[in-house]
Amino acid sequence: MIYDEEFETLPREALEALQLKRLQAVVQRVYSTVPFYKKKYDEMKLRPEQVRSLDDLQRLPFTVKDDLRDNYPFNMFSVPMSNVVRIHASSGTTGKPIVVGYTSRDIDLWSGLMARTLMAAGVTRSDIVHNAYGYGLFTGGLGFHYGAERLGASVIPVSGGNTKRQVMLLQDFGPTVLTCTPSYALYLAEAAEEMGIDIRKLRLRVGIFGAEPWSVRMREEIERKIGVQAIDIFGLSEVIGPGVSVECIEAKNGLHIFEDHFLPEIIDPDTGEKLPWGEEGELVFTTLTKEAFPIIRYRTRDITRLFPEPCRCGRTMVRMGRITGRSDDMLIIRGVNVFPSQIESVLMNVKEVAPHYLLIVDREGQLDTLEVQVEVNEGAFHDEVKVLQALQGRIQKEIREMLGVTCKVKLVEPHTIKRSEGKAQRVIDRRKI
Ligand code: DLL
Protein backbone atom coordinates (compact mmCIF):
# COMPACT_ATOMS: atom_id res chain seq x y z
CA MET A 1 0.00 0.00 0.00
CA ILE A 2 1.19 3.50 -0.80
CA TYR A 3 0.40 6.41 1.52
CA ASP A 4 0.91 9.27 -0.93
CA GLU A 5 0.07 7.50 -4.17
CA GLU A 6 0.14 10.64 -6.33
CA PHE A 7 3.63 11.75 -5.33
CA GLU A 8 5.28 8.42 -4.59
CA THR A 9 4.50 7.12 -8.09
CA LEU A 10 5.16 10.28 -10.16
CA PRO A 11 6.69 9.57 -13.57
CA ARG A 12 10.30 10.82 -13.65
CA GLU A 13 9.62 13.70 -15.99
CA ALA A 14 6.89 15.14 -13.79
CA LEU A 15 9.01 14.52 -10.70
CA GLU A 16 11.97 16.38 -12.19
CA ALA A 17 9.79 19.32 -13.18
CA LEU A 18 8.50 19.51 -9.61
CA GLN A 19 12.03 19.20 -8.21
CA LEU A 20 13.31 22.03 -10.40
CA LYS A 21 10.51 24.37 -9.39
CA ARG A 22 11.12 23.61 -5.72
CA LEU A 23 14.91 23.84 -6.08
CA GLN A 24 14.70 27.31 -7.62
CA ALA A 25 12.46 28.46 -4.80
CA VAL A 26 14.66 27.11 -2.02
CA VAL A 27 17.89 28.53 -3.48
CA GLN A 28 16.21 31.90 -3.77
CA ARG A 29 15.01 31.62 -0.19
CA VAL A 30 18.31 30.65 1.43
CA TYR A 31 20.03 33.43 -0.51
CA SER A 32 17.71 36.06 0.82
CA THR A 33 17.30 34.76 4.39
CA VAL A 34 20.48 32.95 5.53
CA PRO A 35 23.62 35.13 5.63
CA PHE A 36 25.84 32.04 5.35
CA TYR A 37 24.52 31.24 1.86
CA LYS A 38 24.40 34.85 0.70
CA LYS A 39 28.02 35.42 1.62
CA LYS A 40 29.18 32.22 -0.02
CA TYR A 41 27.23 32.74 -3.24
CA ASP A 42 28.30 36.38 -3.47
CA GLU A 43 31.93 35.38 -3.08
CA MET A 44 31.50 32.93 -5.94
CA LYS A 45 29.49 35.45 -7.99
CA LEU A 46 26.53 33.10 -8.10
CA ARG A 47 22.96 34.32 -8.39
CA PRO A 48 19.95 32.15 -7.52
CA GLU A 49 18.54 32.86 -11.03
CA GLN A 50 21.44 30.89 -12.50
CA VAL A 51 19.76 27.67 -11.41
CA ARG A 52 17.83 26.94 -14.61
CA SER A 53 18.06 23.14 -14.65
CA LEU A 54 18.61 20.38 -12.11
CA ASP A 55 22.16 20.05 -13.45
CA ASP A 56 22.84 23.66 -12.44
CA LEU A 57 22.74 22.47 -8.84
CA GLN A 58 26.33 21.33 -9.40
CA ARG A 59 27.42 24.95 -9.70
CA LEU A 60 26.49 25.54 -6.07
CA PRO A 61 28.99 24.84 -3.28
CA PHE A 62 28.57 22.04 -0.77
CA THR A 63 27.51 22.56 2.81
CA VAL A 64 29.49 20.56 5.38
CA LYS A 65 29.16 19.77 9.07
CA ASP A 66 31.70 22.45 10.01
CA ASP A 67 29.51 25.10 8.35
CA LEU A 68 26.73 24.07 10.71
CA ARG A 69 29.09 24.13 13.69
CA ASP A 70 30.29 27.60 12.73
CA ASN A 71 26.69 28.80 12.69
CA TYR A 72 25.79 27.19 16.02
CA PRO A 73 23.12 27.22 17.26
CA PHE A 74 20.51 28.98 15.11
CA ASN A 75 22.29 30.93 12.38
CA MET A 76 21.39 28.50 9.61
CA PHE A 77 17.68 29.02 10.24
CA SER A 78 15.76 30.62 7.42
CA VAL A 79 12.82 31.90 9.48
CA PRO A 80 12.60 34.01 12.65
CA MET A 81 12.60 32.05 15.92
CA SER A 82 8.97 33.03 16.44
CA ASN A 83 8.09 30.71 13.53
CA VAL A 84 10.12 27.80 14.88
CA VAL A 85 8.01 25.34 16.87
CA ARG A 86 10.57 22.57 17.46
CA ILE A 87 14.31 22.16 17.93
CA HIS A 88 16.24 18.91 17.57
CA ALA A 89 19.96 18.19 17.70
CA SER A 90 22.14 15.35 16.52
CA SER A 91 23.96 13.15 18.96
CA GLY A 92 27.63 13.52 18.19
CA THR A 93 30.19 12.31 20.60
CA THR A 94 32.43 15.33 20.70
CA GLY A 95 31.92 19.05 20.81
CA LYS A 96 28.72 20.95 20.18
CA PRO A 97 25.77 19.22 18.58
CA ILE A 98 24.27 20.14 15.21
CA VAL A 99 21.06 22.04 15.85
CA VAL A 100 18.04 21.95 13.55
CA GLY A 101 14.66 23.68 13.67
CA TYR A 102 11.15 23.08 12.33
CA THR A 103 8.18 25.32 11.58
CA SER A 104 4.73 23.87 12.12
CA ARG A 105 4.55 23.19 8.38
CA ASP A 106 7.85 21.31 8.62
CA ILE A 107 6.42 19.15 11.40
CA ASP A 108 3.37 18.52 9.25
CA LEU A 109 5.57 17.55 6.29
CA TRP A 110 7.73 15.30 8.47
CA SER A 111 4.71 13.53 9.96
CA GLY A 112 3.41 12.87 6.45
CA LEU A 113 6.79 11.51 5.33
CA MET A 114 6.96 9.24 8.38
CA ALA A 115 3.44 8.02 7.63
CA ARG A 116 4.70 7.18 4.11
CA THR A 117 7.68 5.44 5.67
CA LEU A 118 5.60 3.33 8.01
CA MET A 119 3.18 2.34 5.27
CA ALA A 120 6.07 1.41 2.95
CA ALA A 121 7.17 -0.96 5.73
CA GLY A 122 3.70 -2.54 5.73
CA VAL A 123 2.29 -0.75 8.77
CA THR A 124 -1.42 0.17 8.83
CA ARG A 125 -3.75 1.96 11.22
CA SER A 126 -4.59 -1.38 12.84
CA ASP A 127 -1.02 -1.80 14.07
CA ILE A 128 0.39 -1.10 17.52
CA VAL A 129 3.85 0.46 17.32
CA HIS A 130 6.35 -0.08 20.16
CA ASN A 131 8.59 2.93 19.58
CA ALA A 132 11.91 2.43 21.35
CA TYR A 133 13.83 5.14 19.49
CA GLY A 134 14.98 7.76 21.99
CA TYR A 135 12.63 10.67 22.63
CA GLY A 136 14.32 14.01 23.14
CA LEU A 137 16.74 16.00 21.07
CA PHE A 138 17.33 12.91 18.89
CA THR A 139 14.92 12.91 15.93
CA GLY A 140 14.13 9.18 16.08
CA GLY A 141 11.55 9.04 18.87
CA LEU A 142 9.37 12.01 17.98
CA GLY A 143 9.76 11.44 14.24
CA PHE A 144 8.30 7.95 14.46
CA HIS A 145 5.75 9.06 17.01
CA TYR A 146 4.19 11.74 14.82
CA GLY A 147 4.26 9.47 11.76
CA ALA A 148 2.52 6.62 13.55
CA GLU A 149 -0.16 8.98 14.84
CA ARG A 150 -0.62 10.50 11.39
CA LEU A 151 -1.14 7.02 9.99
CA GLY A 152 -3.67 6.31 12.72
CA ALA A 153 -1.73 3.45 14.28
CA SER A 154 -1.50 3.13 18.07
CA VAL A 155 1.88 4.24 19.33
CA ILE A 156 3.56 3.23 22.57
CA PRO A 157 6.11 6.00 23.27
CA VAL A 158 8.44 3.82 25.29
CA SER A 159 11.73 5.53 24.24
CA GLY A 160 15.09 3.88 25.02
CA GLY A 161 16.23 2.18 28.19
CA ASN A 162 14.70 0.08 30.95
CA THR A 163 15.00 -2.98 28.78
CA LYS A 164 13.35 -5.55 31.05
CA ARG A 165 10.31 -3.36 31.38
CA GLN A 166 10.20 -3.04 27.61
CA VAL A 167 10.11 -6.81 27.31
CA MET A 168 7.20 -6.87 29.74
CA LEU A 169 5.34 -4.30 27.62
CA LEU A 170 6.05 -6.27 24.46
CA GLN A 171 4.41 -9.21 26.17
CA ASP A 172 1.47 -7.40 27.75
CA PHE A 173 0.53 -4.79 25.11
CA GLY A 174 1.10 -7.07 22.13
CA PRO A 175 2.59 -4.50 19.74
CA THR A 176 2.87 -5.67 16.14
CA VAL A 177 5.60 -3.24 15.08
CA LEU A 178 8.98 -2.59 16.74
CA THR A 179 10.92 0.58 15.97
CA CYS A 180 14.46 1.03 17.36
CA THR A 181 18.10 0.79 16.34
CA PRO A 182 19.13 -2.66 15.05
CA SER A 183 21.58 -3.08 17.92
CA TYR A 184 18.85 -2.36 20.45
CA ALA A 185 16.56 -4.88 18.75
CA LEU A 186 19.16 -7.57 19.40
CA TYR A 187 19.56 -6.39 22.96
CA LEU A 188 15.80 -6.68 23.51
CA ALA A 189 15.86 -10.20 22.05
CA GLU A 190 18.64 -11.14 24.42
CA ALA A 191 16.89 -9.63 27.44
CA ALA A 192 13.72 -11.53 26.56
CA GLU A 193 15.68 -14.75 26.35
CA GLU A 194 17.24 -14.14 29.76
CA MET A 195 13.76 -13.59 31.16
CA GLY A 196 12.69 -16.92 29.70
CA ILE A 197 10.39 -15.29 27.13
CA ASP A 198 10.31 -16.44 23.54
CA ILE A 199 10.11 -13.09 21.74
CA ARG A 200 9.27 -14.86 18.47
CA LYS A 201 6.00 -16.03 19.96
CA LEU A 202 4.81 -12.48 20.69
CA ARG A 203 2.74 -10.51 18.18
CA LEU A 204 5.59 -8.51 16.58
CA ARG A 205 5.62 -8.88 12.79
CA VAL A 206 7.61 -5.90 11.44
CA GLY A 207 10.64 -4.02 12.71
CA ILE A 208 11.83 -0.70 11.28
CA PHE A 209 15.48 -0.33 12.11
CA GLY A 210 17.99 2.39 11.33
CA ALA A 211 20.03 5.31 12.69
CA GLU A 212 23.22 3.23 12.53
CA PRO A 213 24.89 0.99 9.95
CA TRP A 214 23.90 -2.67 9.89
CA SER A 215 24.59 -5.47 7.45
CA VAL A 216 22.39 -7.89 5.54
CA ARG A 217 23.66 -10.63 7.84
CA MET A 218 22.51 -8.65 10.83
CA ARG A 219 19.10 -8.34 9.21
CA GLU A 220 18.92 -12.13 8.91
CA GLU A 221 19.96 -12.52 12.51
CA ILE A 222 17.29 -10.09 13.73
CA GLU A 223 14.60 -11.68 11.58
CA ARG A 224 15.47 -15.12 12.88
CA LYS A 225 15.79 -14.11 16.53
CA ILE A 226 12.73 -11.85 16.76
CA GLY A 227 10.49 -13.32 14.09
CA VAL A 228 9.83 -10.04 12.27
CA GLN A 229 10.42 -8.68 8.80
CA ALA A 230 13.27 -6.22 9.36
CA ILE A 231 13.09 -3.03 7.29
CA ASP A 232 15.95 -0.54 6.87
CA ILE A 233 15.20 3.15 7.40
CA PHE A 234 17.64 5.98 6.80
CA GLY A 235 17.66 9.64 7.72
CA LEU A 236 19.71 12.37 9.34
CA SER A 237 18.88 15.36 11.50
CA GLU A 238 20.38 17.85 9.07
CA VAL A 239 17.92 16.76 6.36
CA ILE A 240 14.83 16.15 8.53
CA GLY A 241 15.50 13.12 10.77
CA PRO A 242 14.08 9.70 9.91
CA GLY A 243 11.80 9.85 6.86
CA VAL A 244 14.38 10.52 4.15
CA SER A 245 14.33 6.99 2.73
CA VAL A 246 13.05 3.53 3.58
CA GLU A 247 12.85 0.05 2.12
CA CYS A 248 9.47 -1.17 0.91
CA ILE A 249 8.29 -4.43 2.39
CA GLU A 250 7.50 -5.79 -1.09
CA ALA A 251 11.12 -5.78 -2.30
CA LYS A 252 13.30 -5.11 0.78
CA ASN A 253 15.99 -4.17 -1.68
CA GLY A 254 17.20 -0.59 -1.48
CA LEU A 255 15.64 2.38 0.29
CA HIS A 256 13.26 4.62 -1.67
CA ILE A 257 14.27 8.26 -1.26
CA PHE A 258 11.38 10.71 -0.97
CA GLU A 259 12.72 12.68 -3.90
CA ASP A 260 9.86 15.13 -4.11
CA HIS A 261 11.28 16.66 -0.90
CA PHE A 262 14.94 15.63 -0.85
CA LEU A 263 17.18 15.79 -3.90
CA PRO A 264 19.99 13.21 -3.72
CA GLU A 265 23.36 13.25 -5.47
CA ILE A 266 26.31 10.86 -5.27
CA ILE A 267 29.75 12.43 -5.41
CA ASP A 268 33.32 11.28 -5.38
CA PRO A 269 34.33 12.11 -1.79
CA ASP A 270 37.85 13.09 -2.88
CA THR A 271 37.13 15.31 -5.86
CA GLY A 272 33.54 16.42 -5.17
CA GLU A 273 32.60 15.43 -8.76
CA LYS A 274 29.06 14.21 -9.25
CA LEU A 275 29.00 10.48 -10.12
CA PRO A 276 26.47 8.77 -12.37
CA TRP A 277 23.70 6.73 -10.78
CA GLY A 278 24.85 3.22 -9.99
CA GLU A 279 28.32 4.23 -8.82
CA GLU A 280 29.26 4.16 -5.18
CA GLY A 281 30.20 7.42 -3.52
CA GLU A 282 29.17 9.96 -0.90
CA LEU A 283 25.52 10.85 -0.57
CA VAL A 284 24.64 14.55 -0.79
CA PHE A 285 21.20 16.02 -0.10
CA THR A 286 19.37 19.24 -0.89
CA THR A 287 16.08 19.79 0.90
CA LEU A 288 13.42 21.09 -1.47
CA THR A 289 10.55 22.09 0.80
CA LYS A 290 11.73 22.56 4.36
CA GLU A 291 11.11 26.02 5.82
CA ALA A 292 13.03 26.52 9.04
CA PHE A 293 16.21 24.65 8.16
CA PRO A 294 16.66 24.27 4.41
CA ILE A 295 20.04 22.90 3.39
CA ILE A 296 21.77 22.96 0.02
CA ARG A 297 24.10 20.16 -1.13
CA TYR A 298 24.80 18.77 2.32
CA ARG A 299 27.62 16.24 2.39
CA THR A 300 26.36 13.40 4.56
CA ARG A 301 29.67 11.45 4.55
CA ASP A 302 27.56 8.32 4.08
CA ILE A 303 28.71 5.99 1.34
CA THR A 304 26.16 4.31 -0.90
CA ARG A 305 24.87 4.22 -4.47
CA LEU A 306 21.59 5.12 -6.16
CA PHE A 307 19.65 2.82 -8.47
CA PRO A 308 16.69 3.99 -10.50
CA GLU A 309 15.37 0.63 -11.76
CA PRO A 310 11.59 0.34 -11.32
CA CYS A 311 10.50 -1.39 -8.13
CA ARG A 312 7.74 -3.94 -7.88
CA CYS A 313 6.03 -1.92 -5.15
CA GLY A 314 5.08 0.71 -7.75
CA ARG A 315 7.04 3.58 -6.22
CA THR A 316 9.04 5.52 -8.80
CA MET A 317 11.35 7.14 -6.27
CA VAL A 318 15.02 6.23 -6.73
CA ARG A 319 16.47 3.70 -4.32
CA MET A 320 19.71 3.97 -2.38
CA GLY A 321 21.68 0.91 -1.33
CA ARG A 322 22.46 0.16 2.31
CA ILE A 323 25.00 2.52 3.77
CA THR A 324 28.29 0.67 3.44
CA GLY A 325 30.28 3.09 5.58
CA ARG A 326 31.11 6.72 6.02
CA SER A 327 33.79 8.62 4.24
CA ASP A 328 34.92 9.70 7.68
CA ASP A 329 34.52 6.61 9.92
CA MET A 330 36.64 4.67 7.59
CA LEU A 331 39.56 3.27 9.53
CA ILE A 332 42.93 3.21 7.88
CA ILE A 333 44.92 0.42 9.41
CA ARG A 334 48.48 0.13 8.21
CA GLY A 335 47.38 1.75 4.99
CA VAL A 336 44.38 -0.49 4.45
CA ASN A 337 40.95 1.14 4.32
CA VAL A 338 38.59 -0.73 6.61
CA PHE A 339 34.92 -0.11 7.24
CA PRO A 340 33.62 -1.52 10.53
CA SER A 341 30.63 -2.87 8.59
CA GLN A 342 32.95 -5.11 6.58
CA ILE A 343 34.32 -6.67 9.74
CA GLU A 344 30.77 -7.10 10.96
CA SER A 345 29.91 -9.01 7.80
CA VAL A 346 32.80 -11.40 8.41
CA LEU A 347 31.78 -11.96 12.04
CA MET A 348 28.16 -12.55 11.06
CA ASN A 349 29.30 -15.47 8.94
CA VAL A 350 30.83 -17.24 11.92
CA LYS A 351 28.17 -19.20 13.70
CA GLU A 352 30.05 -19.58 16.99
CA VAL A 353 30.04 -15.83 17.71
CA ALA A 354 27.26 -13.42 18.66
CA PRO A 355 26.61 -10.11 16.85
CA HIS A 356 28.18 -8.06 19.63
CA TYR A 357 31.64 -6.77 18.89
CA LEU A 358 34.07 -3.94 19.49
CA LEU A 359 36.99 -2.79 17.38
CA ILE A 360 39.96 -1.36 19.23
CA VAL A 361 42.47 0.50 17.13
CA ASP A 362 45.81 1.46 18.65
CA ARG A 363 49.38 2.10 17.70
CA GLU A 364 52.49 0.25 18.86
CA GLY A 365 55.55 2.23 17.85
CA GLN A 366 54.76 3.22 14.28
CA LEU A 367 52.45 0.29 13.65
CA ASP A 368 48.69 0.42 13.78
CA THR A 369 47.03 -2.44 15.57
CA LEU A 370 43.47 -3.65 15.34
CA GLU A 371 41.89 -5.82 17.97
CA VAL A 372 38.49 -7.33 17.27
CA GLN A 373 36.68 -8.28 20.44
CA VAL A 374 33.68 -10.47 19.83
CA GLU A 375 31.40 -12.44 22.10
CA VAL A 376 31.21 -16.18 21.68
CA ASN A 377 27.81 -17.84 21.84
CA GLU A 378 26.69 -19.60 25.02
CA GLY A 379 27.09 -22.89 23.16
CA ALA A 380 30.63 -22.33 21.96
CA PHE A 381 31.73 -20.75 25.25
CA HIS A 382 32.03 -24.09 26.97
CA ASP A 383 34.28 -25.54 24.31
CA GLU A 384 37.84 -26.48 25.13
CA VAL A 385 40.55 -23.84 24.96
CA LYS A 386 41.99 -25.58 21.94
CA VAL A 387 38.71 -25.27 20.07
CA LEU A 388 38.42 -21.60 20.98
CA GLN A 389 41.97 -20.93 19.84
CA ALA A 390 41.18 -22.53 16.52
CA LEU A 391 38.09 -20.34 16.23
CA GLN A 392 40.17 -17.23 16.91
CA GLY A 393 42.60 -18.24 14.20
CA ARG A 394 39.79 -18.86 11.76
CA ILE A 395 38.25 -15.41 12.27
CA GLN A 396 41.65 -13.79 11.98
CA LYS A 397 42.31 -15.58 8.70
CA GLU A 398 38.87 -14.72 7.38
CA ILE A 399 39.35 -10.99 8.13
CA ARG A 400 42.80 -11.03 6.56
CA GLU A 401 41.47 -12.68 3.44
CA MET A 402 38.43 -10.47 3.08
CA LEU A 403 39.90 -7.10 4.04
CA GLY A 404 43.62 -7.52 3.65
CA VAL A 405 44.31 -6.49 7.21
CA THR A 406 45.89 -8.49 10.00
CA CYS A 407 44.20 -8.16 13.35
CA LYS A 408 44.15 -9.71 16.76
CA VAL A 409 40.93 -11.48 17.65
CA LYS A 410 39.88 -11.67 21.26
CA LEU A 411 36.95 -13.90 22.11
CA VAL A 412 35.08 -12.61 25.13
CA GLU A 413 32.42 -14.19 27.32
CA PRO A 414 28.76 -13.87 26.40
CA HIS A 415 27.15 -10.59 27.56
CA THR A 416 30.39 -8.76 28.33
CA ILE A 417 30.40 -6.19 25.54
CA LYS A 418 28.55 -3.11 26.65
CA ARG A 419 25.03 -3.00 25.16
CA SER A 420 23.70 0.23 23.77
CA GLU A 421 20.25 1.66 24.12
CA GLY A 422 20.68 3.86 21.09
CA LYS A 423 23.45 3.85 18.57
CA ALA A 424 26.07 1.25 19.30
CA GLN A 425 29.64 2.43 19.65
CA ARG A 426 31.66 -0.17 17.82
CA VAL A 427 35.06 1.48 17.46
CA ILE A 428 37.52 2.73 20.01
CA ASP A 429 40.37 4.50 18.28
CA ARG A 430 43.22 5.04 20.73
CA ARG A 431 45.68 6.31 18.14
CA LYS A 432 46.58 9.92 18.61
CA ILE A 433 47.27 10.90 15.06
O1 DLL B 1 19.88 8.77 13.04
C2 DLL B 1 17.84 9.75 12.18
C3 DLL B 1 17.18 8.43 12.22
C4 DLL B 1 16.41 8.08 13.30
C5 DLL B 1 17.28 7.53 11.16
C6 DLL B 1 15.76 6.87 13.35
C7 DLL B 1 16.64 6.32 11.19
C8 DLL B 1 15.88 5.98 12.28
P9 DLL B 1 21.30 11.43 13.15
O10 DLL B 1 21.37 11.17 14.61
O11 DLL B 1 21.49 12.81 12.66
O12 DLL B 1 19.88 11.02 12.60
O13 DLL B 1 22.33 10.46 12.44
C14 DLL B 1 22.42 10.40 11.03
O15 DLL B 1 23.16 8.07 11.12
O16 DLL B 1 24.28 10.23 8.50
C17 DLL B 1 24.13 7.83 8.98
O18 DLL B 1 25.53 7.88 9.13
C19 DLL B 1 23.53 7.09 10.16
N20 DLL B 1 22.33 6.34 9.73
C21 DLL B 1 21.04 6.68 9.85
N22 DLL B 1 20.24 5.70 9.35
C23 DLL B 1 21.07 4.71 8.90
C24 DLL B 1 20.88 3.45 8.26
C25 DLL B 1 19.29 9.76 12.64
N26 DLL B 1 19.66 2.94 8.03
C27 DLL B 1 23.47 9.39 10.60
N28 DLL B 1 21.99 2.75 7.91
C29 DLL B 1 23.52 9.21 9.11
C30 DLL B 1 23.23 3.22 8.15
C31 DLL B 1 22.41 5.14 9.13
N32 DLL B 1 23.46 4.39 8.76
CATH number, domain of 391, equals 3.30.300.30
127 and 253 within one domain: yes
Report the DSSP pairing between strands 408-412 and 367-376: parallel
Instruction: Please determine, for residue 433, whether its predicted confidence score (pLDDT) is greater than 60.
Output: no
Tell me the pLDDT band of 36, cut-offs 50, 70 and 90.
Answer: very high
Residue 93 pLDDT grade (very low, low, confident, very high; cuts 50, 70, 90): very low
Beta strands in 132-240 (DSSP E): 154-156, 177-180, 206-210, 229-236
Q: From ligand 1's centre to the CA of 89, what distance in Å?
A: 13
Minimum-distance ligand 1 atom for the alpha carbon of 326: 18
**pLDDT above 90 (res 105):** yes
pLDDT band at 367 (very low <50, low <70, confident <90, very high): confident
Please indicate, yes or no, whether residues 150 and 296 belong to a single structural domain of this protein: yes
Kindly report the CATH number assigned to the domain that includes residue 36: 3.40.50.12780
Rounded Cα gap, residues 185 and 286, in angstroms:
31
| Domains contained in the chain, number | 2
Mutate-to-test residue for ligand 1 from 131, 135, 139, highest number of ligand atoms within 8 A of CB: 139
Q: How many CA atoms lie within 13 A of 243 on its CB side?
A: 30
Predicted confidence (pLDDT) at residue 248 exceeds the cutoff of 60: yes
Interval between CA 394 and ligand 1 midpoint (Å): 33
Question: How far apart are the C-alpha atoms of 421 and 426, rounded to whole Å?
Answer: 13
First-to-last CA distance in the chain? Answer: 51
Cis peptide before 73 (omega within 30 of 0): yes
Domain edge (last residue) among 280, 302, 328 = 328
In this structure, the answer to whether residues 277 and 345 fall within a common structural domain is no
Q: Of 179, 302, 421, which is best to mutate to test ligand 1, by the most ligand atoms within 8 angstroms of its C-beta? A: 302
Ligand 1, from 323, 345, 421: best to mutate by most atoms within 8 Å of Cβ?
Answer: 323
Nearest Cα residue to atom 6 of ligand 1? 140
In this structure, are 249 and 360 located in the same domain?
no
Residue with the smallest CA separation from ligand 1 atom 15 is 211
Nearest-atom index, ligand 1, CA of 237: 11
pLDDT band at 327 (very low <50, low <70, confident <90, very high): confident
Using the 3D structure, point to which of 311, 328, 345 is the last residue of a domain: 328
* Residue ending a domain, choose from 281, 310, 328: 328
pLDDT computed for residue 432 by the predictor? 65
Of 212, 262, 423, the residue with max ligand 1 atoms within 8 A of its CB, to mutate for a pocket test, comes to 212
Same domain membership, residue 365 and residue 266: no
Mark whether 323 and 348 lie in a shared domain: no
Cα separation, 301 vs 325, in Å, equals 8
Nearest Cα residue to atom 21 of ligand 1 = 211
262 and 168 part of one domain: yes
State the pLDDT confidence band at 95, using cuts at 50, 70 and 90.
low
Ligand 1, atom 9, lies closest to the CA of: 236
Note the pLDDT tens digit of each residue in 263-292: 999 999 999 999 999 999 999 999 999 999
CA 170 to ligand 1 center in whole angstroms:
25
Instruction: Name the residue range of residue 390's domain.
Output: 331-432
> Mean pLDDT, to the nearest integer, of 95-117?
94
Sign of CA dihedral 272, 290, 115, 173: positive
**One domain for residues 125 and 91:** yes
pLDDT of amino acid 332 = 78
In ligand 1, the atom with minimum distance to the C-alpha of 241 is: 2
| Whether residue 261 sits in one domain with residue 163 | yes
Q: What is the pLDDT of residue 283?
A: 98
Specify the ligand 1 atom closest to the Cα of 133.
Answer: 6
Going by CA atoms, what residue is nearest to atom 14 of ligand 1? Answer: 236
Which has more confidence, 331 or 154?
154
Mean pLDDT of the chain: 94
Determine the Cα–Cα distance for residues 255 and 246; give it in Å rounded to an integer. 4
DSSP state of 63: B
Give the number of the atom of ligand 1 that is nearest the alpha carbon of residue 98: 11
**Per-residue confidence (pLDDT) for residue 91, from 0 to 100:** 63
For 373-387, the pLDDT digits (tens) are: 999 998 888 888 999
Whether residues 302 and 350 share a domain: the answer is no
For atom 30 of ligand 1, the residue with the nearest CA is 213
Give pLDDT tens digits for 406-416: 999 999 999 99
CA-nearest residue for atom 29, ligand 1, is: 236
317 and 416 both lie in a single domain:
no
For residue 65, give the nearest of 233, 289, 282, 281 by alpha carbon: 282
Ligand 1 shell residues, CB under 6 Å: 90-91, 133, 139-140, 210-213, 232-237, 241-242, 300, 302, 323, 326
- Residue 210 Cα to ligand 1 midpoint, Å, equals 6
Q: Whose CA is nearest to atom 28 of ligand 1?
A: 213
Share of the chain above pLDDT 70, in %: 98
| CA-closest residue to ligand 1 atom 27 | 236
From start to end of 121-272, where are the E strands?
A: 128-131, 154-156, 177-180, 206-210, 229-236, 241-247, 255-257, 262-267
Task: Give 181-206 pLDDT, tens digit per residue.
Answer: 998 999 899 999 999 999 999 999 99
pLDDT of 337 above 80: no
Atom of ligand 1 nearest to the CA of 329: 18
The answer on 46 and 22 residing in a single domain is yes
